[in-house]
Chains A and B, each alone.
Chain A
Amino acid sequence: MKKIFSLSLVVLLLSAVLLSGITGCSFAEEPEETLVIYNWGDYIDEDIEEEFEEYYESVIGKKLDIVYSTFETNEIMITTVEKGEEVIDLICPSEYAIQKLMEGGYLQKLDYSKISTYQNVDAEIYNKVKEVFTHINVPGEGEDESMADYFVPYMWGTLGILYNADVVTEADLAEGYGLLWNSAGNPELEGKILMKDSIRDSYVAAVMRLKELDRLPSGYETLSVQELINTVDDTLLQAVEEVLAEQSYALKGYEVDFGKAQMTSNRAYVDLAWSGDALWAMEDGENLDYFVPEIGGNIWFDGWVMLKNAQNVRAAYMFIDYLCRPDIAMRNAMAIGYTSAVDKEALMASEEAIAILEENEYDVEEFFGDERRYPDIASATTLGVMKDFGERNSATIEMWERVKSSKQNNMWILWVAIAVVGAGAIGFGVYYLVSHRANAYRRLIKTAEQIRLEEEGTEQ
C-alpha cells in the first residue's frame, strides 16, 4: 500500500518542513550513546539490533541505544536525507541511490581500516562497482570519486523472471525475456503475466528483449549489456517504449508488492522479480522457479553508507563490522531471503554460519551451489549494473506513463457503451415500475372516489 499514501505523505512532509521552521529542530541529547540506522523495511534480522547493543556495551563500556527506522523506496529515503533535519548515521540504499547521495555530497568516505571484517565482503561486487561507479562528481571531494570508497555491500542479487513450472513450457523458457511478452503464444499465460511497476526494472527487461529480437537501433548492437542498460538517450527510449507498449497486451498488470502473493496463489504464472523475492516465493509456492535469461540482465546491490553529519561514527563502524561477520551475515540472509554480500568462501569457512544454515534445514552444497542465489558474476559479462538515470529521469518517467496508458485508448469505449446502456436500462426499468405502481394506486383512489360519489348521489 506504500504507493497509495506517498502522495499525502509528501504533502505532510512538506508541511512538516514548514512546521519545523517554527518550532526549531530539537534532538534531545541523551546521556547514553545512540546509533541511528535507516534501512529498508524487513531487511534485517531484528534480534541483531539488541545483540549489537549488548556487544557494544561489552566492548566500549557504554550503553548504546539503536534508533531504527525504515523506508519503502529509495526515493523516499533520498527525500528524507535531502531535508537534512534528522541526524542519521547509517543508511542502506541501492547502488543508484548511493550514487545520487554521493552527487549530493551527503556521504563521507569510509575508513576501511576500521572495519576488520571487511575482507569478508565478496571482492567481485567491488570489481563490478569499480567498473561502473567511478568518475562520480562529489562536491567538496573531487570529480573522480569511486563508489567503492564510500560503501560496504550488504545484500545483492539479480533481476530475473519468476515462473510457474507447471504452466510455463520449455518452449516458453527458450524465449528468454520473451516469456514476459508471451512470445511463444502459450494460451495459458494469457493475462497471467505480471510486470514490475518500476521503470528501472522494466527498462532492463525491455532493452534485453530488444537485444533478443535484434531490434536494437542501428549502432547499439555492439554495446555490452552494461552499456546498454545505462543508455537512456531518445533513440533507445523510443525503441523501449515501442516494445513495452506491445507487451501491455499480454499483461495481467503491473505489480508493486503483490507479485509474490499472486504467484504463490497461482493467480499469475510469470513475474519479473528480484532474486531474493523469487527465492522467498519459491519456498512458499510449489513448482515456482526463477531464471535470468541467458542474453543478460541486471545485477544490483544494496550497501551501507555513512552520512556526513553522522553523530556516532565509532558505533557506525562497529555496526558495519558486526554485520560483515559470517554468522551475523548468514542470520540476516536467512531472515530476509536475499543473498548476503559476504563472500561465500568466508561463509563456508565459518562453522557458526554453517550451523545456522543447517538449523534452517538447508543443504550446504545446494545452498551455495545454487546459481539463482549465487550467479557467477566474475566470468559473466552479460550481467550489468544500472546507474541512476540522472537528468534523463523525467524523460523516462514520461515514457513509462505513455506505455502504461497506451492500452487506454480503445478498450474503454466498449465498456463505457455497455455500462451506460445497462445503467440506462435499469434506471428506466425502475422508473416504469414506480410509475406503474403509482398509476395503479391512482386508479384505486379514483374508483374509491367514484364509489364515494356514487354513494353520496344515492344518499341524496
Chain B
Amino acid sequence: MKLKDLPKKAVDKVKNFRLTRRVFSYPYILFLLLFVVTPLVIVLVNAFIYDGTLSFQNFVDLATDGSSLKVLGTSIVVGIVTTVICLLLGYPVAYILAKWKSGSVLVVLFILPMWVNFLIRTYALQTIFENMAMTLGMGTVIFGMVYNFIPFMIMPLHTTISNIDKSFKEAAQDLGASPVQTFFKSTLPLSLPGIISGITMVFIPTISAFAISQLLSNNSIILFGDSINLKFENKLYGVGSVMSLIMLALVLLSNFFINKINKGEAAKNLW
C-alpha cells in the first residue's frame, strides 16, 4: 500500500512545485551549511580530538603553554588600540562628512580603497615603510590595522549620524544648550548604535587578522590569527581548533554585549 503510494507522492510533489519565495533561499541555505556550519562542526570536533581519541588534552595544552595566551593578550591589546584610534579618527570624519553637503561624495573616496584587495594595500604599505627606512614593528602593524579597518568604522558612523533627525539638535539649541552640550547630550548618544557597530566591525577582525601583522613586521610580531595559522600549518589541528573556538567565543561574547547595550539598534544601522 505505502510502497504503491510512493511514486504518486513524488509526482504530486513535482506537480505541486511552485516557485515560492522559500525556494530562492535554498541555494543560500545550502551554501551556509557547506561553508559555514560544516567547517564549524569540523573545528568543534577537532578541538576534542587528541591522538585520535576524545579528550580535553588540547585545552590543557593551550592553558599550560602560555605563549599562545600571551599572544592572545597582545592581540586583544592591539585590537583595543586599533579600535580606539579608528574611533577617534573616524568619528570626526564621519561627523564632518554627515554635516557637509558634499559628504556623500567624500564617503565614496574613503571607501574607494576597500575595492583594492587588502593584501595589495598592505604590500604597498610595506614597500612605503621600507623606502622610508622605517623599522617594521608594532607601530607599523597598528598603522596597517587602522588603515585597513577604518572604513568599517566610518561607514556605520556616517550612516547613523546622517540619519539623526535635525530637530533633536535644533531642540537642544532652542533650549539653550551650548554647541558642546548639544553634541554630548544629543548627537553623541544618538549616534551610539553607529559607534557600537563600528567597534565590532573593527575589533573582531583586528584580533583575527594575520596577514597584516606578518607583512608589516617581517613576521616578527605574532598575533592570535598568526598563531592559529602556525598551528594549522604544522598539523597541530587540535590546539588550532581550540584557539579558533576561543575566537568564536570572543565574537559571540561581543555580539552578546552589543545586543545588551544596543537592544538591536546596531544591526539596523549597520549599513
On A, residues with C-beta under 8 Å from B are 1, 3-4, 6-7, 10-11, 14-15, 18-19, 73, 75, 78-79, 191, 194, 197, 248, 251-256, 267, 393-394, 397-398, 400-402, 404-405, 407-408, 411-412, 415-416, 418-420, 423-424, 426-427, 430-431, 434-435, 438-439, 442
Among B6-14, B61-69, B258-266, the stretch that binds chain A is: B61-69
Total B residues in contact with A, Cβ cutoff 8 Å: 58
Contact A401 B67 (CB under 8 A): yes
Instruction: List, sorted by A's number, 16 A–B pairs whose CB atoms are closer than 8 Å.
Output: A7-B228, A11-B42, A78-B235, A254-B220, A393-B234, A398-B67, A401-B227, A405-B222, A408-B74, A412-B74, A415-B142, A419-B142, A424-B88, A434-B99, A439-B179, A442-B179
In the complex, chain B residues 178-195 whose Cβ is within 8 Å of any chain A Cβ: 179-180, 183
For B211, give its contact among A4, A407, A419, A435 (CB under 8 Å): A4
Cβ of B232 under 8 Å from chain A: yes
CA distance in complex: A145, B120 (Å): 49
Contact B65 A256 (CB under 8 A): no
For B119, give its contact among A4, A191, A426 (CB under 8 Å): A4
On B, residues with C-beta under 8 Å from A are 34-35, 38-39, 42, 61, 65-68, 70-71, 74, 77-78, 81, 84-85, 88-89, 91-93, 95-96, 99, 119, 130, 135-139, 142, 179-180, 183, 210-211, 214, 217-222, 227-237, 239
Within 8 Å CB of B130, what residues of A? 267
Contact B85 A10 (CB under 8 A): no
- Among A7, A251, A423, residue most surrounded by chain B Cβ atoms (within 10 Å): A7
Contact A7 B229 (CB under 8 A): yes
Q: A405-B222, A416-B142 are in contact. Are A430 and B119 (CB under 8 A)?
A: no
Main secondary structure of the interface of B (DSSP, over half): helix
Main secondary structure of the interface of A (DSSP, over half): helix
- Among A6, A19, A75, A405, residue most surrounded by chain B Cβ atoms (within 10 Å): A405
Q: For the complex formed, measure the closest distance between the CB of A234 and the CB atoms of chain B, giving whole angstroms.
A: 14
CA distance in complex: A43, B122 (Å): 29
Q: For the complex formed, measure the closest distance between the CB of A244 and the CB atoms of chain B, giving whole angstroms.
A: 12
Q: A1-B119, A6-B229, A79-B235 are in contact. Are A11 and B39 (CB under 8 A)?
A: yes
CA distance in complex: A19, B135 (Å): 46
Contact A427 B92 (CB under 8 A): yes
CA distance in complex: A360, B219 (Å): 36
Within 8 Å CB of B180, what residues of A? 435
Within 8 Å CB of B211, what residues of A? 4
Contact A419 B85 (CB under 8 A): yes
Contact B183 A435 (CB under 8 A): yes
Contact B139 A415 (CB under 8 A): yes
Within 8 Å CB of A394, what residues of B? 61, 234, 236, 239
Q: A394-B61, A426-B88 are in contact. Are A408 and B138 (CB under 8 A)?
A: yes
Contact A3 B236 (CB under 8 A): no
Contact B218 A434 (CB under 8 A): no
Q: Which residue of A lies closest to B229 (CB)?
A: A7
Contact B234 A423 (CB under 8 A): no
Within 8 Å CB of A191, what residues of B? 135
CA distance in complex: A18, B84 (Å): 41
Q: A14-B42, A253-B218, A254-B220 are in contact. Are A426 and B233 (CB under 8 A)?
A: no
Q: A7-B229, A430-B92, A434-B92 are in contact. Are A15 and B42 (CB under 8 A)?
A: yes
Q: For the complex formed, measure the closest distance between the CB of A195 and the CB atoms of chain B, giving whole angstroms.
A: 9
